[in-house]
């Protein structure tokens, strides 16, 4: 295609930014002249309609958030910790729906609970935004984790799977150290793994369940963050997954609600402490999200239906709808955002 060299004066006549030499094909020149001529003969409103009509064929329609995902999930049960691959319907974690744009290019992320649910969605999103990823999960969740690792590697990113129980400080320290070694550094920690159980009567609430909730939801993020801060460089980010129950506690989840409220305070306090190191700390507080947690904790038979009805949008969220919040909080464009917990509860509060 023959190229025409435009000088500043010529460029200005067809709407090209003046001040530089610009290479345009003859086709581009003719198109520009045609638009300029049309603009001279049509009123502004008609011109706007003409341009919008030309663009409409390439713009997908805006979807209704009430119906983007179904709200008629059948009742189902699985033993803890549950497998996402066995859920009906399977949660959308962005396997085919999330599109990246390089927002985390070159980053190195450790994500706990990265096999399923929100952690899985964040892992997929991080990879598609250009990050290398380590995911942690329980050994029972290996089938789900293998799927995530495959998805990350398809993006051309490094993917490492490290199974293990976060309820000991020794394992948390070793997880961070191994993640740093595998990735050649660590600049994003996503404390996502969580545990909860439906226990409506404190008189029948076993101390073992309370201990498991607190160790998983609070001790582990403390240990992991402590180990990560010691090796993170300025510009690094730590993210937490809290919950709507931090602000509107559920009576049947007293320990879960308490730990999620503590995470909000921990997020704010840690952000103040590590700001002097150039490290940002933020959190996300999801509402009811369709993950394995919704089917393993032995809630009443109408749990799925009641969770759908609990939001003004009339349905639970899907993990992919949370992923973009984590990416936004992690990317450098949000460098002035720290100490915040963003609510994403479908309008519930």
pTM of this structure: 0.81
Residue 216 and residue 167 in contact, taking contact as beta carbons nearer than 8 Å? yes
Q: How many CB atoms lie within 10 A of CB 25?
A: 12
Give me the helices (H) in the chain, please. 8-13, 26-41, 44-56, 117-128, 142-154, 169-183, 207-214, 220-229, 254-274, 293-296, 303-309, 320-330
Q: 3 has which bridge partners?
A: 25
The verdict on whether 326 is a catalytic residue reads no
Write out pLDDT tens, residues 273-292: 999 999 999 999 999 998 88
Identify the structural domains of the chain with CATH numbers, from first to last: 3-56 (no CATH), 84-344 (3.40.50.720)
Please identify which of the residues 98, 256, 296, 326 carries the catalytic annotation.
Answer: 256
How many angstroms separate the CA atoms of 33 and 176, rounded?
59
The tokens for 142 are: 């290996």
The tokens for 24 are: 């345009």
Write out pLDDT tens, residues 20-47: 344 444 444 444 444 444 444 445 555 5
Write out pLDDT tens, residues 172-228: 999 999 999 999 999 999 999 999 888 889 999 999 999 999 999 999 999 999 999
């Amino acid at each position: 295609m023959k190229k025409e060299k435009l000088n500043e004066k010529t460029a200005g006549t067809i709407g090209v930014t003046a001040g530089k030499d610009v290479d345009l094909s003859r086709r581009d020149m003719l198109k520009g002249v045609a638009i300029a001529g049309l603009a001279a003969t049509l009123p502004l409103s008609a011109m706007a309609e003409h341009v919008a009509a030309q663009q409409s064929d390439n713009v997908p329609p805006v979807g209704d958030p009430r119906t983007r995902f179904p709200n008629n999930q059948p009742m189902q049960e699985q033993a803890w910790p549950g497998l996402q691959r066995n859920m009906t319907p399977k949660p959308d974690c962005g396997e085919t729906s999330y599109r990246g744009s390089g927002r985390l290019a070159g980053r190195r992320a450790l994500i706990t609970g990265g096999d399923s649910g929100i952690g899985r969605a964040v892992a997929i999103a991080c990879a598609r935004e250009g990050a290398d990823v380590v995911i942690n999960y329980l050994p029972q969740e290996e089938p789900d984790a293998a799927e995530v690792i495959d998805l990350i590697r398809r993006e051309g990113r490094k993917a490492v799977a490290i199974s293990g129980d976060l309820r000991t400080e020794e394992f948390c320290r070793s997880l961070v150290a191994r993640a740093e070694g595998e990735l050649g550094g660590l600049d994003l920690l996503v404390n996502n793994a969580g545990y909860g159980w439906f226990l409506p009567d404190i008189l029948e609430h076993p101390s073992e369940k309370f201990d498991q909730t607190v160790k998983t939801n609070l001790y582990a993020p403390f240990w992991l963050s402590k180990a990560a801060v010691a090796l993170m460089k300025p510009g690094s980010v730590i993210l937490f997954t809290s919950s709507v129950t931090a602000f509107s506690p559920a009576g049947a989840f007293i320990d879960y609600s308490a730990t999620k409220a503590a995470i909000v305070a921990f997020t704010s306090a840690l952000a103040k402490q590590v700001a002097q190191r150039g490290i940002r700390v933020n959190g996300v507080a999801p509402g009811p999200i369709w993950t394995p947690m919704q089917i393993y904790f032995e809630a009443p038979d109408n749990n799925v239906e009641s969770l759908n009805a609990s939001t003004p949008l009339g349905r639970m969220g899907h993990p992919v709808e949370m992923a973009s919040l984590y990416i936004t909080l992690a990317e450098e464009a949000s460098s002035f955002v720290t100490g915040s917990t963003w609510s994403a509860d479908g309008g519930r509060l």
